[in-house]
Copies of this chain bind each other. A is one copy, B any other.
């Protein structure tokens, strides 16, 4: 299967020669997972990392009582578990496919050989790790310093910015995950998320119909996301 044309569009492999892309593809292994499949477990030995070609993957932690905290949802074109190759010898979290998913898998040793020969990949890797780092700094900030309505408002604003459509009623957008998964991403549980959505709805700030959200008062939502209490 020809993935050349796909690979060069991924940030990790941008700026590479065709020959280098070919080398990279040569060491990769294509894998498919059905919805809900476990890709790897926490503490499992990290033998490689992944690039999502199609579908979505959640990377998450579980508490001893079973509560889930989603660290990130990885979409097509993004990599995950890169850091596990360079620090520690095992995966620090679980990874599970949310949809039918196709990934490229890069076995650790072969990839490390490659990266040593291709400084450009190193630089791309640094950029990728730096972005992850920023994301986690922001997640820590939110979990430690912000309440649920603030986190939810920020999520909705970000969502509307990247996939919202302006209509006569407001900015319409659609959740691309279930509400319980959203709760788990925001560091809370579905009951609390449900109640928080309801509060926003009761105040006329948003409208909710299943996965469809309409933002009626963008200003107010932004105030809440910046810390003004609901």
Interface residues of A (CB under 8 A from B): 61-65, 67, 69, 71, 82-88, 92-93, 115-116, 119, 122-123, 125-127, 129-134, 136-141, 143-146, 187, 226-227
Contacts and interface: CB of A to CB of B under 8 A. Distances in A.
Given A64-B226, A64-B227, A123-B116, A136 B140 contact: yes
Given A69-B145, A136-B137, 6 more contacts: A61-B141, A69-B141, A87-B133, A92-B134, A122-B126, A144-B187
Contact of A116 (B65, B82, B119): B119
B143 A88 contact: no
B137 A67 contact: no
Contacts of A145: 61-63, 67, 69
A130 B46 CA distance: 13
Copies of this chain in its oligomeric complex: 2
Nearest to A138: B92
Nearest to A117: B119
A118 to B, nearest CB: 9
Contact of A133 (B116, B129, B143): B129
16 contacts: A61-B140, A61-B144, A64-B227, A69-B141, A85-B130, A86-B126, A86-B130, A87-B127, A87-B130, A87-B131, A87-B134, A88-B134, A93-B137, A136-B136, A136-B137, A143-B187
A126 B119 CA distance: 12
Contacts of A126: 86, 122, 125-126, 129
Contacts of A69: 140-141, 144-145
Nearest to A63: B145
A150 to B, nearest CB: 9
A167 to B, nearest CB: 32
Q: Which 9 A-B pairs rank lowest in CB-CB distance, beginning with the nearest?
A: A63-B145, A87-B130, A64-B227, A122-B122, A136-B136, A86-B130, A129-B129, A83-B130, A69-B144
